[in-house]
Chains A and B, each alone.
Chain A
Amino acid sequence: MMSENKNNINRRHFLKDGVWATCLAGLAGLGGFLLSKLKKNNTVWQIDPYVCVACGNCATYCVLEDSAVKCVQVYEICGYCDICTGYLEPEANPPDTGAEKELCPTGALKRVFVEDPYFEYNVDEALCNGCGKCVKGCTVFGNGSLFLQVRHDRCLNCNECSIAAACPSQAYKRVPANEPYLLKKMDHA
């Protein structure tokens, strides 16, 4: 009776050790697999500006109250237009500053005179809420030099970006952290 019991216990121990070793080996195997395709660089979220439709979700879906998505301006593409369709309401005539004529609800897009007839447009990131109203105006009628980007000094880089989950055009991508921006280029056809 006693020896039988002991045998039983030994067998159980043996079995348990076997499972234990299998689990450890499994974890090691998984680790090895991950190591084989491990990449050095972390990834971050970014918007592909050529896919983005400026729907406005970026302003409301970010886990941060003040969204990490802001509008950026690539000056080389900008037409420096007097009548900027990203800056002005469609009916604004004559083109001029003033709340009643600006598209931006937060006054984040600033207009600076350069030389006749050119104006420079700058985004004040502290005010920008990432709603994309100016982006829409600029993309549909203008050169598309204004577009939305995730600003990585603000972004928390959530494992699942909640704006990406809400993005209607699936414009969010994971990009390598050493090249964290997808800026528009001059020669894009």
Chain B
Amino acid sequence: MESNTDNTSQNTETTSTWYRSAVKTAIVCAVFSLIVLTFFVINYIQFRIIDANWEIQSLNLKKEFGQNLDDEQLLAKIRQLDLEFRQRRIRRLDFSRKGGYLLLGSVVIMLIAIKSADTFKKKLPAPQVLGNKDDEQLIQAKFSRWAVAAGLAVLGSGALILAMGTDIDFGGTNAVISTSYPSFEQVSQNWPAFRGPEGNGIVDFNDIPDSWNGKSGDGILWKTKIPLHGNNSPVVWEDRVFLSGGDPNELKVFCFDSVSGKLLWTGEVESPHLKNEEEPFEVMEDTGFASPTLVTDGRRVYAIFVTGDIGAFDFNGKNIWTKSLGIPDSSYGYASSLAMYRNLVLIQFDQGGPEDGISKMIALDGLTGQTVWETKRPVPNSWSSPIVTKIGEQFQLITCGDPWVIAYDPAKGTELWRVNCLYGDVAPSAIYANGLVFVIEPDATLFAIRADGQGDVTKTHIAWENDEWGPNICSPVSNGELVFMLASEGLIACYKNSDGTKLYEQDLRENFMASPTLVGDKLYLLTEDGVMFIIQAGPEYKELTKCELGEKCYASPAFVDGRIYIRGLEHLYCIGNNASE
């Protein structure tokens, strides 16, 4: 290739013939390479762009076919498409294998041809006339300095441009906590879950209405029809009120505007268990399809239904995720409400018999619905709701089941303590007040448990128990001094927190499904007939007032500053102090 320099024009004739043929070869090879290259580009475009669309198209057709199983034409089309897709893929792969070698070969021949042509027409070195050598070195040095300086400037401006990009500093760990989920203070200013921020049925607002009348409309800010039936309580975050409802055909989440009462949006949770004609899903009428109360973290709202289907929606009603845990094996139908800890949606998924070992506590990430932790529970099906409450500086997730009351670390799901004390179909939830956790064995006993134990503390941490009786649905409530129990049949009783001494017992001669709520020094008790008894939360029974709504009520009401939200059988009521405005 690099032939001798003494290759002069002694033989012009042959040299030029060789030269010309070399040039021609080079041109032919160049053209050929270009053609192959063009094919390569076409192949690439088809492979990566057209065929990708092809796949989407075929997926759509398959979906269409899934809904229309008898369409022979569609079927033939899908199969044809699929076959072509596969054939094309194989052809493409084959081409890119062979084409690569073709291109390489032609480029190599072209290179050889051009190099040969060069050899046949070699120029002899002809040095230029030299200028002043010293000057040249000076000039070169000067230019070099400038070039390096220019390079430095380019680097500097590049760094500057890079530095101007978005800046994420993770804002220190505290800022992270306050932004990725609501702070404890934010939660306390809302009613984000069943029985309030900590699930204890305690209202921290003073300005709660104490007189209204559903028939005359006095004190009723607004009243909106709820499209679907459900027994769950309203949850409230700032200006949004959330409910869910369901029937054998659909499971839905409703969002109301707290100012106008307008239904803002309806979100549907698709369930694979409904619309199954061969094996229709049935549920006890009293339980219904939507008994568990929703939970919200101020960013999204989460709802679980009797079918074990969970849906998450953002505040605009967009479905973020849905998850099916499978139909829970529950004798009256699943009813445990959700709880929330930071970004975790907590599900007490108790099901089956005592020996089945299929109950568990599940924590899902609110943003994605992915399981963050999961812990098996040694209990059969239950209807009690978990609570997340602050005990000392720590949060505890407290659950009731037969026979165990178990407290977990809500962040990791590790067990903190457990007490063996309950028996039967457990429905009332636990509460916490003044160092003690109160749990109720249905129709039997009220237990007070010290919450600072570790491991099985049955023998050591039961502060006292009172086995005269106990409610079977409603949860208790306590102001730290006194603890109140309300039975569905209308019996209310008051005990001393410290030792369990009974202070009074009163029969209200009404039926109750809603749990009692403590508002300052008053107790709010909502009857099945929609009458709110407001009584004094003191050591003696004293009825302060009664307010009628005029509609059946099964759900516990929600309380936020200046307002009460009550779910009637068909309507959602908003009761406010300044109804006249």
Contacts and interface: CB of A to CB of B under 8 A. Distances in A.
Interface of A: 65-66, 89, 91-93, 98-100, 105-107, 127, 129
A107 B79 CA distance: 11
A106 B86 contact: yes
Contacts of B61: 100
Provide the main secondary structure of the chain B interface. Answer: helix
Provide the main secondary structure of the chain A interface. Answer: loop
B78 A99 contact: yes
Given A65-B93, A66-B93, A105-B55, A100 B85 contact: no
A92 B81 CA distance: 18
Among all A-B residue pairs, the 7 with the closest Cβ atoms: A91-B66, A99-B82, A100-B78, A99-B79, A65-B96, A100-B65, A66-B93
Contacts of B83: 99
Interface string B59-85: 001110110010000010011011101
B330 to A, nearest CB: 23
Interface residues of B, number: 22
A66 B47 CA distance: 12
Contacts of B89: 106, 129
B93 A100 contact: no
A100 B86 contact: no
A89 B66 contact: yes
Nearest to A126: B90
Given A105-B55, A106-B86, A107-B82, A100 B96 contact: no
Contacts of A92: 66
24 contacts: A65-B47, A65-B92, A65-B93, A65-B96, A65-B97, A89-B62, A89-B66, A92-B66, A93-B69, A99-B78, A99-B79, A99-B81, A100-B61, A100-B62, A100-B75, A100-B82, A105-B58, A105-B85, A106-B86, A106-B89, A107-B82, A107-B86, A127-B86, A129-B89
Nearest to A89: B62
A174 B500 CA distance: 64
A98 B62 CA distance: 11
Interface in B403-454: none
Contacts of A93: 69
Given A91-B66, A106-B89, A98 B55 contact: no
Nearest to B55: A105
A98 B78 CA distance: 10
A99 B80 CA distance: 9
Contacts of A107: 82, 86
Contacts of A129: 89
Given A89-B66, A99-B78, 12 more contacts: A65-B47, A65-B96, A91-B63, A91-B66, A93-B69, A98-B75, A98-B79, A100-B78, A105-B55, A105-B58, A105-B85, A106-B86
Contacts of A65: 47, 92-93, 96-97
Contacts of B97: 65
Nearest to A107: B86
A154 B58 CA distance: 29
Contacts of B78: 99-100
